[in-house]
Amino acid sequence: MKLLGNLDCEARWAGAALPAAVQRRISLYAALFAACAPDAAAGDHHEIWVPAPVDPARLLAHPGWTPPIVRTAGSAGGFDLAWADPAAAAANDRSRGLAIAGELGVALPGARVVASLAELDDQLAGLGDQPWICKARWTAAGRDRARGTGAATGERRAQLARMFARLGPLVFEPWLDRVADLGVCGEITAAGEVELLEPHRQVTDPRGGFLGIELAPPVDRAIADELSAVARAAAGRLAAQTGYRGRFAIDAFVYRPPGGGAPRLHPLCELNARHSFGWIARALAPRLGIRRLGFDAPPPGAIVLIAPAEDRVTAWCA
């Protein structure tokens, strides 16, 4: 099977060039996408095209997992499966995800699209000393984001000016005290129906950086039911508005309200119309008997899929 590991798709949609080091990193991660192929047990028959060359010695085989043959993109021709549909820019626009959250009544108070520093200043004026984040409309893995507290000044303001000039309007959100990060994978069928998997936990660092997927223990039933209901409704609107068909994933989190009170679920943080690492974790689970897919330092006894090196890129499961 021919696979297109286009983990650089968001940058292409945004018209932004990725540094060579980032292209090498995402190309290593893209090799794991072969787990999502329908006949993944025959992994040695898969070829995957990625943005940058990959050292095959970094991709480790295990019983139940054979890394794909990696090709550098450029003459890939047709493909049987893509990480993201190259034509799905409209479906992956984060401003659309925010609009859908608003339509469903689950958008964070104060979240909005800002098109200039002046609009951002107006938004920050009413936020006080609460932390905030600005994200590009097409971005992944924590790239093209700016965080701050209070007014945007100094180097942070210069960074935002560069982002507006390079990326256009940004999505602004208050930054909240997260208790747990969650996700749910689903698919919009050719008939436009929405099918969902059980929600999973996401492992993140204190700044929200992605570190992995946890499939067990299961997410609390009440939270899982609310998250699934919003995911189904959001995917239905995405399908109706853009015509998108295929796999998607929704990021969500539980947070402590700024004014105090019981933790709350924010069920629609980001809507990604593509495969995700949640899909990879689900695909590897029955083959390797794992419950976690990780991207930080492998713990003792872990099944290492991408050998660590000086670039600190690795992947493991346990």
Per-residue pLDDT of the chain (318 residues; tens, 9 = 90+): 899 999 999 999 988 889 999 999 999 999 999 999 986 555 557 999 999 999 999 999 999 899 999 999 765 568 899 999 999 999 999 999 999 999 999 999 999 999 999 999 999 998 888 899 999 999 876 678 999 999 999 999 999 999 999 999 999 999 999 999 999 999 999 999 999 999 999 999 877 789 999 999 999 999 999 999 999 999 999 999 999 999 999 999 999 998 888 999 999 999 999 999 999 999 999 999 999 999 999 999 999 999 999 999 999 999
The ranges assigned to domains in the chain are 2-84+279-317, 89-107+176-274, 112-174
Whole-angstrom Cα Rg for the chain: 19
- SS3 at position 293: strand
CATH topology of domain 89-107+176-274: D-amino Acid Aminotransferase; Chain A, domain 1 (3.30.470)
Instruction: For residue range 113-128, list pLDDT tens digits in order.
Output: 999 999 999 999 988 8
pLDDT of res. 74: 64
User: Is 102 buried (19+), middle (13-18) or exposed (0-12) by CB count in 10 A?
Assistant: middle
Stated pTM of the model: 0.93
Architecture of the domain spanning 112-174? 2-Layer Sandwich (3.30)
Residue written as token pair 């890394």: 67
Long-range pairs for 54-57 at CB < 8 Å and ≥24 separation?
54/24, 54/27, 54/28, 57/307
